[in-house]
Protein backbone atom coordinates (compact mmCIF):
# COMPACT_ATOMS: atom_id res chain seq x y z
CA UNK A 1 0.00 0.00 0.00
CA UNK A 2 1.27 3.46 -0.91
CA UNK A 3 -0.07 6.15 1.39
CA UNK A 4 0.38 9.87 1.96
CA UNK A 5 -0.38 11.56 5.29
CA UNK A 6 -1.58 15.15 4.81
CA UNK A 7 -2.48 17.70 7.45
CA UNK A 8 -1.24 20.73 9.37
CA UNK A 9 1.87 20.61 11.55
CA UNK A 10 1.04 19.17 14.96
CA UNK A 11 -1.83 17.02 13.67
CA UNK A 12 0.09 13.96 14.89
CA UNK A 13 1.11 12.63 11.47
CA UNK A 14 4.50 11.49 12.82
CA UNK A 15 3.02 9.73 15.86
CA UNK A 16 0.33 8.10 13.74
CA UNK A 17 2.89 7.08 11.16
CA UNK A 18 4.90 5.31 13.86
CA UNK A 19 1.77 3.44 14.98
CA UNK A 20 0.65 2.79 11.42
CA UNK A 21 3.94 1.34 10.24
CA UNK A 22 3.57 -1.41 12.88
CA UNK A 23 -0.17 -1.87 12.33
CA UNK A 24 -0.10 -1.73 8.54
CA UNK A 25 3.51 -2.98 7.94
CA UNK A 26 4.62 0.02 5.91
CA UNK A 27 7.93 1.87 5.67
CA UNK A 28 7.64 5.33 7.24
CA UNK A 29 9.26 8.07 5.16
CA UNK A 30 9.26 11.54 6.72
CA UNK A 31 10.92 14.36 4.79
CA UNK A 32 11.14 16.38 8.04
CA UNK A 33 13.06 13.51 9.68
CA UNK A 34 15.37 13.23 6.65
CA UNK A 35 16.17 16.97 6.82
CA UNK A 36 16.67 16.90 10.62
CA UNK A 37 19.03 13.89 10.35
CA UNK A 38 21.07 15.79 7.76
CA UNK A 39 21.19 18.86 10.02
CA UNK A 40 22.30 16.72 13.01
CA UNK A 41 25.04 15.10 10.92
CA UNK A 42 26.06 18.46 9.42
CA UNK A 43 25.94 17.14 5.84
CA UNK A 44 26.08 19.69 2.97
CA UNK A 45 22.27 19.31 2.64
CA UNK A 46 21.86 19.84 6.38
CA UNK A 47 23.95 23.01 6.32
CA UNK A 48 21.92 24.25 3.33
CA UNK A 49 18.49 23.69 4.90
CA UNK A 50 19.02 24.43 8.62
CA UNK A 51 17.90 28.07 8.55
CA UNK A 52 14.87 27.15 6.42
CA UNK A 53 13.69 24.53 8.91
CA UNK A 54 14.35 26.79 11.91
CA UNK A 55 12.18 29.53 10.41
CA UNK A 56 9.29 27.22 9.49
CA UNK A 57 9.41 27.82 5.73
CA UNK A 58 9.66 25.14 3.06
CA UNK A 59 12.78 23.65 1.52
CA UNK A 60 12.75 24.31 -2.27
CA UNK A 61 10.69 21.84 -4.29
CA UNK A 62 13.53 20.59 -6.52
CA UNK A 63 15.69 19.57 -3.54
CA UNK A 64 12.79 17.89 -1.74
CA UNK A 65 11.49 16.05 -4.81
CA UNK A 66 14.97 14.66 -5.63
CA UNK A 67 15.36 13.33 -2.08
CA UNK A 68 11.96 11.61 -2.09
CA UNK A 69 12.43 10.14 -5.56
CA UNK A 70 15.72 8.64 -4.46
CA UNK A 71 14.29 7.35 -1.15
CA UNK A 72 11.33 5.65 -2.88
CA UNK A 73 13.75 3.69 -5.06
CA UNK A 74 15.39 2.04 -2.04
CA UNK A 75 14.49 -1.67 -1.80
CA UNK A 76 12.60 -1.34 1.51
CA UNK A 77 10.12 1.13 -0.03
CA UNK A 78 9.19 -1.01 -3.00
CA UNK A 79 6.59 -3.04 -1.08
CA UNK A 80 4.68 -0.03 0.22
CA UNK A 81 5.24 3.09 2.24
CA UNK A 82 3.72 5.88 4.16
CA UNK A 83 4.84 9.36 3.16
CA UNK A 84 4.66 11.81 6.07
CA UNK A 85 5.19 15.49 5.26
CA UNK A 86 5.45 15.04 1.49
CA UNK A 87 4.01 16.36 -0.79
CA UNK A 88 3.51 19.82 0.70
CA UNK A 89 2.98 21.78 -2.52
CA UNK A 90 1.09 21.20 -5.77
CA UNK A 91 4.43 21.08 -7.63
CA UNK A 92 5.57 18.23 -5.34
CA UNK A 93 2.26 16.38 -5.78
CA UNK A 94 2.51 16.69 -9.57
CA UNK A 95 6.08 15.37 -9.50
CA UNK A 96 5.09 12.45 -7.25
CA UNK A 97 2.23 11.48 -9.54
CA UNK A 98 4.79 11.27 -12.36
CA UNK A 99 6.76 8.48 -10.71
CA UNK A 100 4.38 6.81 -8.24
CA UNK A 101 0.78 5.60 -8.12
CA UNK A 102 -0.75 6.18 -4.68
CA UNK A 103 -3.48 4.06 -3.09
CA UNK A 104 -4.81 6.75 -0.75
CA UNK A 105 -4.13 10.14 0.82
CA UNK A 106 -5.23 10.55 4.44
CA UNK A 107 -5.97 14.11 5.52
CA UNK A 108 -5.67 14.69 9.29
CA UNK A 109 -8.03 17.52 10.19
CA UNK A 110 -7.17 19.78 13.14
CA UNK A 111 -8.12 23.39 13.86
CA UNK A 112 -5.42 26.07 14.10
CA UNK A 113 -5.93 26.80 17.83
CA UNK A 114 -5.25 23.12 18.64
CA UNK A 115 -2.20 23.14 16.34
CA UNK A 116 -0.78 26.08 18.32
CA UNK A 117 -1.58 24.44 21.68
CA UNK A 118 0.08 21.18 20.66
CA UNK A 119 3.21 22.65 19.09
CA UNK A 120 3.91 25.38 21.64
CA UNK A 121 3.83 22.86 24.51
CA UNK A 122 6.06 20.32 22.81
CA UNK A 123 9.49 19.59 24.33
CA UNK A 124 12.18 17.11 23.25
CA UNK A 125 15.17 15.63 25.05
CA UNK A 126 18.47 17.04 23.77
CA UNK A 127 20.21 13.73 24.37
CA UNK A 128 17.82 10.94 23.36
CA UNK A 129 15.11 12.78 21.39
CA UNK A 130 12.18 11.53 23.52
CA UNK A 131 9.15 13.80 23.14
CA UNK A 132 7.07 15.38 25.95
CA UNK A 133 4.27 17.93 26.21
CA UNK A 134 3.92 20.55 28.96
CA UNK A 135 0.25 19.73 29.57
CA UNK A 136 -0.65 16.45 27.88
CA UNK A 137 2.57 14.47 28.51
CA UNK A 138 4.63 16.36 31.13
CA UNK A 139 7.97 14.96 32.38
CA UNK A 140 8.08 13.90 36.06
CA UNK A 141 10.61 16.68 36.78
CA UNK A 142 10.32 19.97 34.91
CA UNK A 143 12.89 20.33 32.11
CA UNK A 144 14.36 16.85 32.66
CA UNK A 145 13.92 13.74 30.48
CA UNK A 146 12.21 10.83 32.30
CA UNK A 147 14.07 8.35 30.14
CA UNK A 148 17.73 9.44 30.29
CA UNK A 149 17.91 12.49 32.61
CA UNK A 150 18.87 14.74 29.68
CA UNK A 151 17.80 18.38 29.34
CA UNK A 152 14.52 19.11 27.57
CA UNK A 153 14.43 21.77 24.87
CA UNK A 154 11.97 23.39 22.48
CA UNK A 155 12.61 22.75 18.78
CA UNK A 156 13.41 26.10 17.09
CA UNK A 157 10.48 25.50 14.73
CA UNK A 158 8.12 25.07 17.71
CA UNK A 159 8.79 28.63 18.89
CA UNK A 160 5.83 31.02 18.54
CA UNK A 161 7.00 32.90 15.42
CA UNK A 162 7.92 29.69 13.58
CA UNK A 163 4.56 28.09 14.46
CA UNK A 164 2.76 31.06 12.89
CA UNK A 165 4.95 30.75 9.78
CA UNK A 166 4.35 27.00 9.52
CA UNK A 167 0.59 27.55 9.74
CA UNK A 168 0.74 30.32 7.14
CA UNK A 169 2.76 28.09 4.79
CA UNK A 170 0.36 25.19 5.43
CA UNK A 171 -2.73 27.21 4.48
CA UNK A 172 -1.08 28.87 1.48
CA UNK A 173 0.78 25.92 -0.04
CA UNK A 174 -0.29 22.58 1.45
CA UNK A 175 -4.04 22.93 2.11
CA UNK A 176 -4.78 23.22 -1.66
CA UNK A 177 -3.61 19.59 -1.92
CA UNK A 178 -6.79 18.47 -0.13
CA UNK A 179 -8.90 19.50 -3.10
CA UNK A 180 -6.24 18.32 -5.56
CA UNK A 181 -6.34 14.77 -4.17
CA UNK A 182 -10.11 14.86 -3.65
CA UNK A 183 -10.67 15.56 -7.32
CA UNK A 184 -8.49 12.53 -8.12
CA UNK A 185 -10.59 10.26 -5.87
CA UNK A 186 -7.75 9.52 -3.45
CA UNK A 187 -8.67 11.57 -0.37
CA UNK A 188 -9.82 10.16 2.98
CA UNK A 189 -10.42 12.51 5.91
CA UNK A 190 -9.90 11.80 9.57
CA UNK A 191 -10.50 13.90 12.71
CA UNK A 192 -7.06 14.30 14.34
CA UNK A 193 -8.29 15.79 17.63
CA UNK A 194 -8.75 12.56 19.68
CA UNK A 195 -5.84 10.62 21.29
CA UNK A 196 -3.48 8.89 18.80
CA UNK A 197 -4.70 5.37 19.69
CA UNK A 198 -8.29 6.41 18.84
CA UNK A 199 -7.23 8.06 15.57
CA UNK A 200 -5.26 4.88 14.74
CA UNK A 201 -8.39 2.74 15.19
CA UNK A 202 -10.35 4.95 12.80
CA UNK A 203 -7.45 4.89 10.35
CA UNK A 204 -7.34 1.11 10.32
CA UNK A 205 -11.09 0.96 9.66
CA UNK A 206 -10.66 3.50 6.89
CA UNK A 207 -7.96 1.30 5.33
CA UNK A 208 -10.17 -1.76 5.61
CA UNK A 209 -7.84 -3.52 8.08
Residues annotated as catalytic are: 13, 88, 122, 155, 166
- Please identify which residue in 1, 24, 45, 52 interacts with ligand AMP, judged by CB under 6 A: 52
Q: Which of residues 150-179 bind ligand AMP (CB under 6 A)?
A: 157, 166
Distance CA 150, CA 122 (A): 16
Report, in Å, the least distance between residue 169 CB and ligand AMP: 7
Report yes or no: 81 and 3 within 8 Å, Cβ to Cβ: yes
Distance CA 30, CA 32 (A): 5
How far lies 110's CA from each of 81, 107, 118, 181, 203, in Å? 23, 10, 11, 18, 15
- Please identify which residue in 7, 8, 12, 56 interacts with ligand AMP, judged by CB under 6 A: 56
Distance CA 52, CA 31 (A): 13
x/- map, 6-45, ligand AMP, by CB under 6 A? ---x---------------------xx--x----------
53 binds ligand AMP (CB under 6 A): yes
Report, in Å, the least distance between residue 168 CB and ligand AMP: 11
CB nearer to ligand AMP: pick between 43 and 141: 43
Other C-beta atoms lying within 10 Å of the C-beta of residue 109: 14
Report yes or no: 127 and 145 within 8 Å, Cβ to Cβ: yes
85 binds ligand AMP (CB under 6 A): yes
Residue 190: DSSP 8-state: E
Residues that bind ligand AMP (CB under 6 A): 9, 31-32, 35, 52-53, 56-59, 64, 85-88, 92, 157, 166
Amino acid sequence: MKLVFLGPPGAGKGTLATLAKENLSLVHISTGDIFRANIRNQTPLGVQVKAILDSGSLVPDDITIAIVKDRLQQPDALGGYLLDGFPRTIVQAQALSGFEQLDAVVNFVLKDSEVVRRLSGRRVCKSCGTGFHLTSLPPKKEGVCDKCGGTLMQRPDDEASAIQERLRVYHAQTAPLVEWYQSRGLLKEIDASPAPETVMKVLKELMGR
